[in-house]
A and B are shown apart, each in its own frame.
Chain A
Amino acid sequence: MASSIENNNEKLTLKSSDGEEFLVEKHVALQSTLLQNMLDSDCSSADVIPLPKIDARTLALVLGYCKKHADASSSKQGELNSFDSEFLKDMDMGALFNLVLAANFMEIKGLLDIAAQKIADTIKDKPHQEVREIFHVENDYTPEEEAAVREENRWAFEGFP
């Protein structure tokens, strides 16, 4: 097991939900706990690994992130941080949410955290009406219920419409 991981030249093939195949170096794939566990179990080395929940566009983004993080040495933390913030900058909501789901599925903690943080930043300090609009949250409160919830937590709504 250990020897196969140490060998950086080994590659494996990942297949997205829409059938595209990605050839990645093993040390890049190891950023994903899911893939790491699969490789550790030493069963799938010769196979194409299907990722039925992740489309090609998202998978490409995920692998881009993994590559950067796998290749960077630990001394370049600052560089990685700026890469992370650049990475999600200007990303549309659809892509961002797909990315969160993919990171969750593939168990890439760093990516999951920065993507979740990005979504949180979008919610922060916005009136809830606007948040509903951005994320298309369907309001299933009756107007009375909504007013009651607001009233209960009045302190949090001070200064918001």
Chain B
Amino acid sequence: MCLLQGQKEMRRKRKKNKGLESQNVGVNDCMMKLLLMLVFLEKNLLLIATNAMNMPQDHLRPLKRAMAIEEAEIISGKFMEKASIEENVAEVAYMDLLPDEILSLIISFLTTRDVVRTSVLATKWRFLSASPLNLDFDWPSIRGMKRGGSRCLMRSDPEDTEEESQSLLTAILNGTGSFEFFGISYNGIRAMIVGLGEVESSDESSGDEVLGIEFGGRAIGLSRMVPDEADNLWLAYNLIAEGDTVQAVTVRNVLREAASGRTRCRSSRTCEAEIGNKS
């Protein structure tokens, strides 16, 4: 931040140089060069100062945040430029000019159904729609979810056709892409699942929960991970590529409050999914 001070100093120096220059008209080739250099330096200083102002506050993910900011700068710069050039603002492709972090924020305000539908807007949106962290799951539109019982989201309902479950699975892997929804078992009509394993239920034995995602890609080989925090999901999302086979297993011990009293049930599901490369 103190670069601003440096900038002021420079300005003062420059003024002094200017004064000198006017005194020795015609002699000061050298001085002119110096002046140009100072102007150049000052410009860069301003740039550095601007960058310094944008230093990430979030120390947890400095790299990601710094990247996002760089992008935001470039893009917002472009946006302003474009907006001012084009009188007809309606022609500006707004969405393309917003940095991804803002688009993700916008998406986070949508229901899952709307989020999934954005994937068809353009190729970029297909990947964007996989990024929201706080999806509001629109339960009635999810067929695989059975109300009032302990069920895995993926495969639960015998009435579901193979095609329906497959479509749902692909929707989750490709469309909403959030592994937060893996291995959910819940009793109740509406649950808000925030983060992996944080299931809002009267679960007193969360230690029993085992969540694993296996992915065997050509480049990666076979890997296994047990995600236990949101960042792991981000990792998985970036690692899993087209053609990978993803397997998720969950074992839960759920203690639930039913009308008939407390019952204990255990559920275990295995799901396999091929992402992409199907057609």
Q: What is A's interface to B at a CB cutoff of 8 Å?
A: 17, 33-34, 37-38, 41, 43-44, 47, 50, 52-55, 92-94, 97-98, 100-101, 104-105, 107, 112-113, 116-117, 119-121, 123-125, 128, 131-132, 135-141, 145-146, 148-157, 160
Contacts and interface: CB of A to CB of B under 8 A. Distances in A.
Contacts of A100: 98, 102
B277 to A, nearest CB: 12
B270 to A, nearest CB: 22
Given A138-B122, A155-B141, 8 more contacts: A41-B1, A53-B80, A93-B94, A94-B94, A105-B72, A120-B107, A125-B114, A128-B121
Interface of B: 1-2, 4-5, 8, 46, 50, 53-55, 57, 72-73, 76-77, 79-80, 83-84, 89-99, 101-102, 105-114, 116-126, 141-143, 167-168, 170-171, 174-175, 279
Nearest to B88: A94
A152 B173 CA distance: 10
A151 B174 CA distance: 12
Interchain residue pairs A-B with the least CB separation, the first 5: A120-B109, A94-B89, A156-B116, A41-B1, A43-B1
A124 B110 contact: yes
Contacts of B142: 155
A153 B279 contact: no
B241 to A, nearest CB: 17
Nearest to A127: B117
A37 B146 CA distance: 49
Given A55-B84, A119-B106, A131 B76 contact: no
Nearest to B168: A155
Contacts of B168: 155
Contact of B109 (A55, A117, A148, A149): A117
29 contacts: A34-B54, A41-B1, A50-B50, A93-B89, A93-B90, A94-B92, A97-B94, A97-B98, A104-B99, A104-B101, A104-B102, A120-B108, A128-B117, A128-B118, A131-B118, A131-B121, A132-B121, A135-B94, A139-B121, A140-B123, A149-B119, A151-B167, A152-B171, A153-B170, A153-B171, A153-B175, A154-B167, A156-B112, A156-B114
Contact of B119 (A98, A116, A138, A153): A153
Task: Say what secondary structure dominates the interface of chain A.
Answer: helix
Nearest to B129: A153
A100 B50 CA distance: 19
A55 B116 contact: no
Contact of A153 (B5, B117, B121, B143): B117
Main secondary structure of the interface of B (DSSP, over half): helix
Contact of A104 (B72, B109, B125): B72
A128 B117 CA distance: 7
A93 B143 CA distance: 36
Nearest to A95: B89
Nearest to B75: A101
A120 B108 CA distance: 8
A105 B174 CA distance: 31
A101 B98 contact: yes
A160 B117 contact: yes
